[in-house]
Structure 1
């Protein structure tokens, strides 16, 4: 849908772990287009959008930062001026029985989702339908 993929990796929960991550990717020429890091139970969990997942995972592994995963993403725009958009869209995903594994925003304010690979195309179709309906709404 966008040419971007989710890069996921666990980082040590220590000062400088994110700096090391960013420096390694920067040296490899990998730009970040959105994402974030959260610490949970002593582990930093990072998810970022990248255009070249193979280059990113190779650079991180070579630097000894661990094994990263690459997943396809579902991206769409919510009307940020309308309260309840996140709940309404994710309810559609939930009603389809699709588990959302990761959710964040890109640098352009689009919603980014990672879902189980076997449900990815179904979620993409739900996002397409949402976008079609959104475009048809009066402004």
Structure 2
């Protein structure tokens, strides 16, 4: 059985130790973090992480009062790291197709990870698949 990677998104407290608590809770639940990050703007810390078991992540985080957590399917593809302009070229194709990018980061295997609205996920996945075979 293959692992389905999904994105979890949530707000974290901006005080020291909130990311440590997040990591400890997921580690204790044996949820692997495969990519992502935390970004703070003014008084809000927004976290998005690629996980191998989103349901277990939500259960563990909620049990510790961390959340609410939003689970999203992801679109993943590999860009040619040696070629400048890849991010702009690929995301232009998505934009021209009317696909909104909600979240963008990289995983530990150097793949681009995108979260798009659920009703646009299938089309974005099709576009990414065509890009990957180029």
- TM bucket (normalised to shorter chain) is over 0.9
| 2:36 counterpart of 1:4 | no
Using the TM superposition, give the Cα deviation of residue 41 of structure 1 relative to its aligned residue in structure 2, in angstroms: 2.6
Which residue is 1:71 aligned to? 72
| 2:46 counterpart of 1:45 | yes
- Residues of 2 paired with 1:50 and 1:21: CA distance? 13
- When the two chains are superposed, the root-mean-square deviation of aligned CA atoms in Å is 1.2
Q: How does 1:11-50 map to 2 (within 5 A)?
A: 11-50=12-51
Instruction: For structure 1, list consecutive stretches of 5 or more residues without a partner in the other structure.
Output: 134-139
- Residues of 2 paired with 1:113 and 1:17: CA distance? 25
* TM-score (structure 1 length as normaliser): 0.93
SS at match of 2:19: helix
- Residues of 2 paired with 1:66 and 1:126: CA distance? 32
- Residues of 2 paired with 1:2 and 1:131: CA distance? 20
Instruction: For structure 2, list consecutive stretches of 5 or more residues without a partner in the other structure.
Output: none
Which residue is 1:81 aligned to? 82
Aligned length: 133
- 1:59-92 superposed Cα distances (whole Å, 9 cap, x missing partner): 0010011211110000000001000000000000
Which aligned segments of 4 or more residues in structure 1 are displaced greater than 2 angstroms?
Answer: none
* TM-score (structure 2 length as normaliser): 0.96
- Residues of 2 paired with 1:52 and 1:31: CA distance? 8
SS at match of 2:38: strand
Which residue is 1:101 aligned to? 102
Contact 1:13–1:43, Cα closer than 8 Å, also in 2: yes
Using the TM superposition, give the Cα deviation of residue 3 of structure 1 relative to its aligned residue in structure 2, in angstroms: 1.4
